[in-house]
Amino acid sequence: MTKAKVHDVPKAVWLWCVPIPLLIQLGVWQVDNEGKFFSRWIESEAGLIENATAISLIFATTISLRVGLKLFKYVESIYSAWFFFVALVCLGFAGEELSWGQHWIGWDSPDYFAENNRQGETNFHNFNIHFGRVVKSILTLAIVIGGLILPLRHSSDLVHETPIRQFLFFITPTRVCIPAAAFVFGVRLIERVKTWWNLDWDFLAVNLKESQELYIALFLLIYVWSARIRV
């Protein structure tokens, strides 16, 4: 007997669309000799990378909430709790990226943030540079384990097993998450290597820290989208 086909995120999205943001970033950097267009429309706070990160996270928050609510209604609370937690992570990430709306609406930072935030923005991750690095490192490690290793062990057969194995089936990323996870790890590795050895590579003289945040957001979006389809 053949196994029933498990529907998931379209291949055109999880495989072919994932490299596009980095290709656009590097491509515009190479052709924009003066760097004015690149600085304003690609890497600035109001640029493509920052906005794509926030929008991806907003969609991920919405989808994760829908998955959590559906599981809460039809299954058990332990399933829904996980996706409510993921939604909270995505919402917090999006809020910090947008400085909780300041980048889009453009209000002035309250005095406390203006005086204590390294960039004078209405967010918390710029209060302490080490805090932001720790959070990003934790997310990166979780994505490497959950997005590169665990999907290889993911099986649709788990849905017919014990409650614990069913729970693992729902929360374990599938193989559609592997490309985004690979870019999270790859961009992080290149950025670290450039910093450790003080490498001056012209074709990679871009802000890869922002690129990594975008790929973390894309991973989260594909992950919850996949869960929504399977649920």
Say what the pTM is. 0.90
Compute CA 125 distance to the chain's CA centroid, rounded to the nearest angstrom: 16
CA distance 49 to 30: 17
Question: Do 52 and 21 form a contact (C-beta atoms < 8 A)?
Answer: yes
Contacts of 66 (CB under 8 A, 6+ apart): 228
CA distance 160 to 56: 32
- Mean of pLDDT values over 95-124: 89
Other C-beta atoms lying within 10 Å of the C-beta of residue 218: 27
pLDDT tens per residue, range 18-66: 999 999 998 998 898 788 899 889 988 889 999 999 999 999 999 999 9
Question: Six-digit token pair at 140?
Answer: 């990166």
Could you tell me which of 207, 206, 208 has the C-alpha nearest to residue 188?
Answer: 208
pLDDT of 152: 81
SS3 category, 63 = helix
